[in-house]
Amino acid sequence: MVLPDPDTVGEAVAAMILDRLAATKGQHFLLGCPGGRTGAPSYRALARLAGRGADLSRLVIVMMDEYVVPGADGALRCVDPERSYSCLGFARRQILGPIAAGCAAAGTVAPTQVWLPDPADPAGYDERIEAAGGIDLFLLATGASDGHIAFNQPGTARDSRSHVTELGAATRRDNMGTFPEFTTLDLVPTHGVTVGIDTIAATSREVIMIVCGEHKRDAYARIAEAERYEPDWPATITVECKNPSLIADRAAAGH
C-alpha cells in the first residue's frame, strides 16, 4: 500500500491497530513497537483515536530494543529512561503519554504496560512474549542505509532470538537523525539489546512494515522485491512473517 505522506500512513496504521484490537478477545493485546521517527505518526494517530473514545485499555506496548551501557559493576544495563534516546522513555513519552491524555479526555481507561528486553536475560523476553500468546501485531521499521530491523545488524542469523548486540556505524548514524542529543557519532551507544529476527517472525500473528521518506527509497525497494530473508538486509524478514503488510508513503515508493 502506498499513501501520500507519513501522516496518512500513520492514520491507516492506527486504524488497522484499532480494527485488530476490536476483533480480538482476551486480557491483553500485544503491540510490537519501534522507537523513533517511523512509528511516530501512527502513535499520534492512535492517541487521537483514544481521544475520540476508542477502547485501548488492553493495549500492551512491546518495544523492540533498547540501548545499553556498562554499569558501575561492568555489567550492561539499559540506558536511563530520562535520556531522549531511551526506547523505554520514548514509549512513555511518545506512545503511552499521549494515549493516556486522549483516554482522560474521553473518560476511558488508558493502557499502562510497556515491555522491554532485559540485557541481563534477553531470552526471558522471548519467553515472556510466548507465554502471553505472542505479539498480536508488530509494527516494523527499516534502517535506511543498512536495512537493520530493531538492532539486528546486517549478517544477523535468521534463527536469532532476543540478544545483546554491537551496533554498526551505519545503524548508529541512522539514529543520529532521530535523536538531537546525538550531535556526534561517539555519543551514540555502541551496544543494544534487541528482539531477534526469529523473535519477530515466529512470535507475531501479523506485521506491518512502515517505510516513509525519500531517504528510504532503497530500503523500500529491497523489501518490496525480496522473496525470502536476506541477511545483508535484515528488514527483509518481513516477507517471511505471517500476514505481512508493507505500507509506504509516495516519497519512499518513488511515486
246 and 1 Cβ atoms separated by less than 8 Å: yes
- pLDDT digit string (tens) for 127-184? 999 999 999 999 999 998 899 999 999 999 999 999 999 888 877 887 777 777 788 8
What is the pLDDT at residue 108? 96
pTM of the model: 0.92
158 burial type by CB count under 10 A (0-12 exposed, 13-18 middle, 19+ buried): middle
Q: Residue for cell digits 529491497?
A: 222
Q: E-strand spans in the chain?
A: 2-3, 29-33, 59-63, 65-70, 76-78, 113-115, 137-140, 163-166, 191-194, 207-211, 244-249
Among residues 250, 230, 249, the alpha carbon closest in space to that of 240 is found at 230
pLDDT of residue 182: 81
| DSSP-assigned letter for residue 79 | P
**Nearest CA-CA partner of 8 in 254, 192, 251:** 251
pLDDT single digits (tens) 181-192: 788 887 888 899
CB atoms within 10 A of CB 69: 15
> Strand 244-249 vs strand 2-3: parallel, antiparallel, or unpaired?
parallel
Strand order in the sheet with 191-194: 76-78, 65-70, 191-194, 163-166
Please, what is the angle between helix 40-51 and helix 97-106, to 10°? 20
| Distances in whole angstroms, Cα of residue 90 to Cα of each of 33, 123, 157, 198, 230 | 11, 23, 28, 24, 29
